[in-house]
C-alpha cells in the first residue's frame, strides 16, 4: 500500500470504526519516509520488533469509534503484511545491508573463516 490513509481504510474494513481511529498508528509506521522517500524507509519499523515498538508507543489496544477494542499489534502486523507480504525480522533487513569500508571502520573483517577466496570474503566485500 502506498498511503497511510489506505492502510487506515483497510483497518476499518477489518475492525470497524473510522479511518482516524487508526491513522496515527499507520502514520507512525511510515513516518520514516521523511528519512528516505522510497521503500527502504520500511527497514526502520516494518519488522517484528517494529510491531512491539508500535505497541509500546500506542498501548496494547485502541478503542475505535465503534467502541471496539483492537489490539495494536494486530494493526501493526496487518500494516506490514499489506506492505511486504509477510513480517520480516529486523535481522532480515540487516542481512540486506551490503557492508562497506566506512561501516567496518575499527572492525575490519580479517578472520580467515570469513574468506571464500583470495579477493572476496563471505559478505561480498572485496578485500
Can you tell me the distance from the alpha carbon of 57 to that of 84, in angstroms, rounded to the nearest whole number? Answer: 22
Give the three-state DSSP class for 30: helix
Applying CB under 5 A, the span of 30-38, 66-74, 86-94, 111-119 interacting with Zn ion comes to 30-38
Q: Which stretch binds Zn ion (CB under 5 A): 13-21, 22-30, 51-59, 102-110?
A: 22-30
Q: How far, in Å, CA of 69 to CA of 46, rounded?
A: 23
Residue 30 or residue 55: which is nearer to Zn ion going by CB? 30
Q: By CB under 5 A, tell whether 21 contacts Zn ion.
A: no
Q: Residue 64: beta bridge partners?
A: none
Residues of this chain that bind Zn ion (CB under 5 A): 29-30, 83
Amino acid at each position: 500500500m502506498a498511503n497511510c490513509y489506505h492502510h487506515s481504510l483497510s483497518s476499518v474494513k477489518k475492525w470497524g470504526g473510522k479511518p482516524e481511529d487508526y491513522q496515527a498508528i499507520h502514520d507512525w509506521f511510515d513516518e520514516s519516509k521523511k528519512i528516505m522517500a522510497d521503500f527502504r524507509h520500511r527497514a526502520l519499523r516494518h519488522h517484528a520488533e517494529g510491531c512491539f515498538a508500535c505497541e509500546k508507543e500506542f498501548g496494547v489496544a485502541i478503542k475505535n469509534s465503534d467502541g471496539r477494542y483492537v489490539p495494536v499489534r494486530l494493526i501493526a502486523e496487518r500494516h506490514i503484511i499489506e506492505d511486504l507480504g509477510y513480517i520480516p525480522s529486523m535481522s532480515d533487513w540487516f542481512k540486506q545491508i551490503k557492508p562497506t569500508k566506512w561501516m567496518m571502520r575499527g572492525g575490519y573483517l580479517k578472520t580467515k573463516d570469513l574468506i571464500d577466496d583470495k579477493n572476496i570474503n563471505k559478505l561480498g566485500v572485496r578485500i
